[in-house]
Structure 1
Amino acid sequence: MNPPASAQEKTQLEQTSKPLVQKVAIIGAGLGGLAVAVALRKLGYNVQVYEKAQDFRPVGGGLGLLPNGLNFLQAIAPELVTLIKNSGCEVITTVLKNNQGETIRTNPASRYQDKYGQPLVTVWWWHLQQVLASQLPADIIHLHHRCLGFQQDDTGVEIYFDNGSVVSADLLIGADGINSVIREVLIQDGKPRYLESMSWRAVIKCNQQVLNPGELGFVKGNRDFMYLLNVGDGHFAWLYRRLSLDNSLSENPAAVKSRILSYITDWGESLRALVEATPAERILEGPICDRLPVNSWSQGRVTLLGDAAHPMAPALGQGANSTFEDAYELAYSLSQASSWQTALANYEQRRIPRTQSIQTRSAIGEMRYYETESEAAARQMQEQSAISREEFQDSIFSYKPPQAIALHAILESGFQS
């Protein structure tokens, strides 16, 4: 007998035992911090999130949620994927264009749903943050709390903030991004590594003529390229990247906009118009950076998650998606272990080998964007014996939450008895 719909729709994270610790502090109210907060609250944990920003405002660029990320969000809270799809855009077709805006090739994006059981969804970072925040009580998110550091002992962790606050917790999760304060204390590996790729991105609301609804576009230039994304509710995202040894930033927003326009002066009018229509202050400029993989993210009662743990180039689109894997797997480890020490060890064992390989391939992928045809052909000849791009994508996209099969079996056996 099949279980009733209400049982089928239950989250895969359920409170089956007493929480291992009383209070969990999370540094960072980005995508990873909010996702793990939602997951841990499902398990009955007292979770508090501390964010350096003074308010939530429309920030960030467009991003793609791939099957593995959606699988793990669905495992955290089934309604999340529905909310995200309503907020963003399910991609129907991918389009390759030249830098005059002319279409070279189109491909259906149905393979994601057909092969992996989830679509490709493009969404505005800010809208995704709001969807996650909507799953949490407002009083557990503490804005205007820039973390300065922490100290820990056998009894707990003390966290220090620039507003003078001192917070005590039993477990601390650093989800504070590539320039993580928590990581710097734990690992002390200095500044991120610049990958010789500069980025400019923005989200605007405009009547653009470049993409049809449901399309995702890629524009191949000469040592530069642009992604074009419908991100829902009439919003449109463009992301421009350029090979550059120089990672210096422009002096002001007007200079940022002028800089991009000077780079794409020979591009087609429809593409230049997107940048020209973007208010200068909405354009985000920055270097593409990562860090080298490490073999441990935890010390004592403190661990890392997302970009704080494994910052990677965006070439494979796995920054946010792998972060949602982290959020679920950390909560899952805490739900299965007999102690928080064992839970953190299990979390690292499950996550680090996978993210190390994704970090490494992402850095390589970033440089492949800028290859000429002859360079790409030469590389492919050398890589014939290596795991193929398709095989590696399969290993990423087909990844499922560890409890999915076990929970299904439990529900089936429970309702058959």
Structure 2
Amino acid sequence: MEASQALDARSMAPVAGARPASAGPGKALVVGGSLGGLFAATALRAVGWEVEVFERSPSNLTSRGGGIVLQPEVIRAFSFAGIEPGGALGVRSHDRLYLDRSGDVRHREHVPQTQTSWNTLYSALLKSFPMERYHRDARLIGVEQEDHGVSATFSDGRRVHGDLLIGADGGNSTVRKLMLPDVSPTYAGYVVWRGLLEEHQLPDAARPLLYENFVFQQEPESLMLQYMVPGADGSTTPGQRRFNWLWYLKAAPGAELDRVLTDRDGKRRSHSVPPGSLAVGQDGWIRQMGAAHANPAFQALIENTDDIFVQQILDLQVPRMRFGRILLTGDAAFIPRPHTAGSTAKAAADAVSLARAVAGAQDLDGALASWQQERLAQGMQMTQWGIGMGNRIMGIQQS
């Protein structure tokens, strides 16, 4: 019997503190304290729910990937939760430029949009959530549900009860592994090399094309792009911001991918090598690639970036997001290709949709079933769109 079936079939004796389906606002246990978890936590608190967040990392989280396109769903999530950022959330770009290898502009169009960063959103969300309810070093090891409640057990022996448990713990989700042990992210066939450069570190010669623009260079099996994001402290003041660049390149499964993901200490990382940990050989290789293939402005970005990092591109689609009173949200359920610019937006939309569904619900289980139906459809649509777009960009034949 699968883990999800075994959990659904457990004894129906009520969990201590469990509430009947029609009792109104209850208590939610949110597993995962990054953006997805904080979106869920702040949205549920906004509709009167008691929320506890459990983050497996023992220390403060640090930037998980750099730049993010600020989508309307994120703004709506902030507004829904009553979060006032206290300043601009991002940097406005004006034009989209498509450059060739020599740096000539092949196409220009006016497409204003705003880009933010992981740390900017995380800081704003965390400040709005009571720290006494945000628990670090909380590694989930088991879940159990009976009747109208659910309990979570952590590695330090804590056992916590609630009316809902929300797995918002990312692509490597422990909750998903417990519920769907046979479902895990799959490698898409390419990686993204990334870097962040302080605004003042970019040479003047590269500024005219890159400054406050969203810039691309696309060639067969290769896509480079860059945009500006807030500074590490969230500043959007000119001179205190950063250039965020990305370069998608193929890496064949096996020995080639192993080389890319092996860090400077010889450890083969699972999905990414963070800033400061890239192997010397890989750091030299991507800089040489930049010198050979990038336009002059992008060459300047790569040359002046101190800590380049790299991430696998992954796909994930789940058949279910609800298992009784246990839910999956954000990247724990669906991982969209980054070309959609939709991962953070989807996590925010999952959270707001859930809060609206449970707010005042007379039939909580019915509300959760409806929520799952809506969000499954949205997740499948976004990930399928991203897979098609990414495969076309990278020249990958779809199976």
Same fold (TM over 0.5): yes
Q: What runs of 5+ residues in structure 1 fail to find an aligned partner?
A: 1-17, 111-119, 380-417
Q: Provide the C-alpha distance between the structure 2 equivalents of 1:146 and 1:97, rounded to a whole number of angstroms.
A: 46
Q: 1:285 aligns with which of 293, 310, 322?
A: 310
Q: Provide the C-alpha distance between the structure 1 equivalents of 2:284 and 2:114, rounded to a whole number of angstroms.
A: 31
3-state SS, counterpart of residue 369 of structure 1: helix
Aligned positions of 1:145-160 closer than 5 A: 145-154=138-147, 156-160=149-153
Q: 1:275 aligns with which of 302, 305, 314?
A: 302
Quote the offset at 1:185 in angstroms: 1.3
Q: Provide the C-alpha distance between the structure 1 equivalents of 2:310 and 2:24, rounded to a whole number of angstroms.
A: 42
For 1:122, the equivalent position in structure 2 comes to 115
Structure 1 residues 175 and 69: CA distance shift in structure 2, 3 A:
same
Q: Provide the C-alpha distance between the structure 1 equivalents of 2:140 and 2:309, rounded to a whole number of angstroms.
A: 23
Contact 2:321–2:333 (Cα < 8 Å) also in 1: yes
3-state SS, counterpart of residue 355 of structure 1: helix
Contact 1:124–1:203 (Cα < 8 Å) also in 2: no
Q: 1:35 aligns with which of 27, 36, 39?
A: 39
Q: Provide the C-alpha distance between the structure 2 equivalents of 1:219 and 1:44, rounded to a whole number of angstroms.
A: 48
Cα deviation digits, residues 152-204 of structure 1 (max 9, x gap): 22253222223443322221000011111111111223431111111122323
Quote the offset at 1:265 in angstroms: 3.3
Cα deviation digits, residues 308-339 of structure 1 (max 9, x gap): 11112112111111111111000000014213
Q: Provide the C-alpha distance between the structure 1 equivalents of 2:382 and 2:306, rounded to a whole number of angstroms.
A: 35
Greater alpha carbon shift after TM alignment, 174-183 vs 235-244: 235-244
Contact 1:256–1:285 (Cα < 8 Å) also in 2: no
For 1:395, the equivalent position in structure 2 comes to none
For 1:251, the equivalent position in structure 2 comes to 263
For 2:212, the equivalent position in structure 1 comes to 214
Quote the offset at 1:305 in angstroms: 0.6
Quote the offset at 1:59 in angstroms: 4.0
Quote the offset at 1:365 in angstroms: 0.8
Contact 1:55–1:144 (Cα < 8 Å) also in 2: no
Q: 1:199 aligns with which of 185, 192, 195?
A: 192
Contact 2:186–2:314 (Cα < 8 Å) also in 1: yes
Structure 1 residues 204 and 149: CA distance shift in structure 2, 3 A:
farther
Aligned residue identity for 2:181: Q
For 1:87, the equivalent position in structure 2 comes to 89
3-state SS, counterpart of residue 95 of structure 1: strand
Specify which structure has the higher proportion of helix.
1
For 2:176, the equivalent position in structure 1 comes to 183
Q: 1:64 aligns with which of 57, 69, 74?
A: 69
Percent identity between matched residues is 25
Structure 1 residues 255 and 364: CA distance shift in structure 2, 3 A:
same
Aligned residue identity for 2:132: D
For 1:385, the equivalent position in structure 2 comes to none
Q: Provide the C-alpha distance between the structure 2 equivalents of 1:32 and 1:140, rounded to a whole number of angstroms.
A: 16
Contact 2:37–2:53 (Cα < 8 Å) also in 1: yes
Q: RMSD across aligned C-alpha pairs, in angstroms?
A: 2.4
Alignment: residue pair count: 342
Calculate the TM-score normalised by the size of structure 2: 0.79
Q: Provide the C-alpha distance between the structure 2 equivalents of 1:293 and 1:99, rounded to a whole number of angstroms.
A: 40
Q: Provide the C-alpha distance between the structure 1 equivalents of 2:148 and 2:364, rounded to a whole number of angstroms.
A: 13
3-state SS, counterpart of residue 177 of structure 1: coil
Quote the offset at 1:231 in angstroms: 0.4
Contact 1:19–1:45 (Cα < 8 Å) also in 2: no
Indicate yes or no: 2:367 matched with 1:343.
yes
Greater alpha carbon shift after TM alignment, 132-141 vs 209-218: 209-218
Aligned positions of 1:321-340 closer than 5 A: 321-340=345-364
Q: 1:264 aligns with which of 290, 293, 310?
A: 290
